[in-house]
Chain A
Amino acid sequence: MADTGNFQVGPDDHALVEEFRRNPIGHHSPALQRLLNRLRGTPMADKYCLVVVSPNREWQLAKTSGVPGEPVKLLRRRFTDQAAAEWFVFRERWKDLTGETLSA
């Protein structure tokens, strides 16, 4: 149904990383929003998500399988801060997309 995959990351987009790190959820510049649409609009196979461990206090990193009926795969990482979870996944996705490892 949706496809946001055309956007190509370029060298100017590195400036957006800091903008995201400072404020992962909320108002974003149009340029950052376009980058995030690319990172988030992928199919469900092996897609990062969170599983509630303790409501509003702890989340576990996970991945959806993309196949209805197949379990969500729990990963070995937990977060007590939602922004930290967003930043972790952003860095993973950035690395998949550009090959670059961002410093934590």
Chain B
Amino acid sequence: MMKITAYADRVSVAPGETISFMVNCSARQYQADIVKLVCGDLNPDGPGYQERPVRTAVTGTYKGRRQVIHAGSFVEVEDPGSFSRLQSFTVQMFIWPTTPDKGAQTLLSHWSESEKSGFDLAIGADGSGLTLTLAARGREERFSTGRAFLGREWYFVCASYDAATRRVTLRQEPVHSHVATRDAGTLRATSKITRLTERSAPLTMGARFLRHDKGRSVCTQHYNGKIDSPRIVDRVLDSTETEALKQPVLNAKALQSVVAAWDFSADIEGLQVTDRSPNLLHGRVVHMPARGMTGWNWSGEEMSWRHAPTEYGAMHFHDDDLYDAGWEIDFSFTVPEKLKSGLYCARLRCGDSLNDEDYVPFVVLPPRGQVTSKICFLLPTASYMAYANDHMGTDAPIGQLLGGKLVEHDRQDLYRNEHREYGSSCYDSHSDGSGVCYSSRLRPILSLRPKYKHWLGGQGSTLWQFNADTHITNWLEALKYDYDVITDEELHYDGVSAIEQYKVVITGSHPEYHSREMWDAMSAYQQRGGRLMYLGANGWYWRIAYHRDVPGVIEVRRAEGGIRAWEARTGEYYHSFTGEYGGLWRRNGRPPQMIVGTGFTAQGFDISSYYAPKPDSTRKEVRWIMQGVEQGERIGDFGLIGGGAAGLELDRADRLLGTPPNTYLLASSENHTDIYLVVCEELLINYPGLGGQENGLVRADMVFYETQQGGGVFSVSSIAWPGSLAHNNYRNNVSRITKNVLDRFVSGKQLLDR
């Protein structure tokens, strides 16, 4: 099992700026180095793994120490004394539990474990239903309705304690009753606790507070499910009063005795949890429970939380949510002024085997506001984040069906499987079965590594995403091109200014996820004379949002349509981060064909194939692209990713989806296996014959077209393309075509020969 895991506080850093590294190491010490990464592929049949150490001030030996992650989302509210001083109280809310049988799960509590004092309203263990626990002066008492909750049903729950009479009342009321189902319950009892004692702790919702650990709040009894409209009042309420407090909008009269009334529909885009009472006991979310979720009263008449906020008062908590691992810094690296822009890693080693090392990739940018090359390699970090720490290999039964062979696990996959607290990807479902819609990079991302195979990468080197993209850096280095590297975050936060000074921008093999800001910047670049080489497929597919207030986390809503590993629930298609409609860019009016000429058409993960040239490739204007390639020669009938340049995911041209009318179709792939299937968004009615052996939509279209002011786009439309670049020591037609295009794009010369 891996002995070192680590992450950095940023994914890109410019000269003069500082990047910090947080390391977990089970050995007594480790060696840290900064290396430039050239090729991350360990396949002996490939060009060979290559890194170049850089001497830096941080190079050296460091003391190893373990650092752990405390996953699970909750709300935390600092207590100015308002909760501690409560004697009588009523707590009420609506809940939609998703794993009611998974042990005790706290809904709301003000609890001090060390002082054994407080109150905790929870789903009880062993089907005991709504449970209130009271503790004071060494005594702890538990009260339960005894009626198990059903999963994925709304309940109104209410608990009260009367300090004068010591009476405890519990109410558990399904919002919709089912026939012959005993999930409603009431309890009236008398507590032996005569007085609650003060305590020092935050109030929490969705978990019970335990202790602090290095600046982080650690909780237990994490709840899975939604909470809506939680209120605390400082006395026992009658049913008229609890009814009044159910309303999403509370008037002054209703708020009179309220200690706190949290409105989860307020400021959905932020981290604050707003208290509508005059006490202003605002809280904050920890580890990002899902916001913008349909509430107990969602009518279905509005799909956007912006249009009906009173019906979106719910947050969905998960016991495996993670935003910031919160580790302590081990060392910080200030980038020297002269360090060339490129792809680098912090290499951390405590021994000789692959299990004794970890790498943390990061990009060194050119100096802010400048470029130091004509070529820009745009590292698709948003797409890496979407896949971060995925568990598909161990969790998804369709893995071997899609891969057409046994799934291969690398050491990082085994570690992630056993360390679920490292969080999931947007391809996973949470432990409660709901889809993962947020992904953070403030945690070790063990899928974003060199020396790592991933089963989606086809037969051969079996590389996917980041490590596959090192075949592009390897090719650029081998052919001695000078290039800068930037990430999606520069494009998102800086807009077109991040790329407009470059003659050419090169994509990775799979630039799938884009924010509106990224999309607009790339489109503007093209129309202002920029030249784009799209060396991949399935690009510009999903819309994402970055968080408004905090860095390093993206959101995707897998809404209506698309090849998707989970499906957003109806009414939850709009981003909580921004209010935008989520899902495919195609469903937002911007199919990928509009920005790169081709768009997702088919996928399969066993073996790859070749392209056959098309008539446009011999036209005078574009003959230069295939210069050096024999007429009629199969293009890319070789490669480390599936044995061919056309493979894994494929894009096709389609005028109706936005392929420009001046597009040249240079080549199309053929002879894919029946593991390759047409994407589901093309299937308005399904029909037999969707596999590669039968269906003409299963193909990669290599295209080229001019854009305004001398710009242009060249698209290979296949994820496998970069794996063919190094074949036969770079003497092959895939490398040749790529070089022809890059040289012409960089030259500034006009793109069509007349």
Residue numbers of A with Cβ under 8 A of B are 1-2, 4, 24-28, 30, 33, 36-37, 40-44, 47-52, 55-57, 59, 62, 64-65, 68-72, 82, 85-86, 89
Contact = CB atoms under 8 A, between A and B. Distances in A.
Contacts of B407: 49-50
B43 A56 contact: yes
B43 A2 contact: no
A41 B401 contact: yes
B43 A24 contact: no
A41 B397 contact: yes
B409 A69 contact: no
Given A48-B406, A68-B417, A82-B459, A56 B398 contact: no
Contacts of B406: 48-50, 85-86, 89
B398 A41 contact: yes
Interface in B671-700: 673-675, 693
Q: Is the interface of B mostly helix, strand, loop or mixed?
A: loop
B301 interface: no
Q: How large is the interface on B (under 10, 10 to 19, 20 to 34, 35 or more residues)?
A: 35 or more
A70 B408 CA distance: 17
A73 to B, nearest CB: 11
B398 A1 contact: yes
Contacts of A48: 406
B42 interface: yes
B401 A26 contact: no
B400 interface: yes
B405 A28 contact: no
Interface in B384-430: 391, 393-398, 400-401, 404-411, 414, 417-418, 420
Contacts of B400: 40-41, 47, 49
A71 B418 contact: yes
A88 B395 CA distance: 23
Interface in B455-479: 459-462
Given A25-B404, A50-B407, A72-B409, A44 B397 contact: yes
Contacts of B459: 25, 82
12 contacts: A1-B397, A27-B693, A33-B674, A43-B397, A44-B396, A50-B409, A51-B414, A55-B453, A56-B45, A64-B394, A71-B417, A72-B414
B215 interface: no
Interface in B600-621: 606-607
B606 A26 contact: yes
A83 to B, nearest CB: 10
Sorted from nearest, which 7 A-B pairs have the closest CB atoms? A40-B400, A55-B42, A56-B43, A2-B398, A49-B407, A52-B410, A50-B408
A68 B391 contact: yes
A1 B404 CA distance: 18
Nearest to B1: A71
B401 A2 contact: yes
Contact of A28 (B408, B462, B673): B673
B138 interface: no
Contacts of B44: 55-57
A69 B420 contact: yes
B420 A62 contact: no
Contact of A51 (B43, B401, B405, B408): B408
Given A26-B606, A55-B44, A68-B391, 13 more contacts: A25-B405, A25-B607, A27-B693, A40-B400, A40-B401, A43-B397, A44-B394, A49-B406, A52-B410, A55-B453, A69-B418, A71-B414, A72-B414
A42 B405 contact: no
Given A25-B459, A30-B674, A49-B409, A68 B404 contact: no
A69 B417 contact: yes
Interface string B34-47: 00000000111100
A26 B45 CA distance: 19
A5 B398 CA distance: 12
Nearest to B567: A1
A37 B399 CA distance: 11
Nearest to B693: A27
Nearest to A44: B397
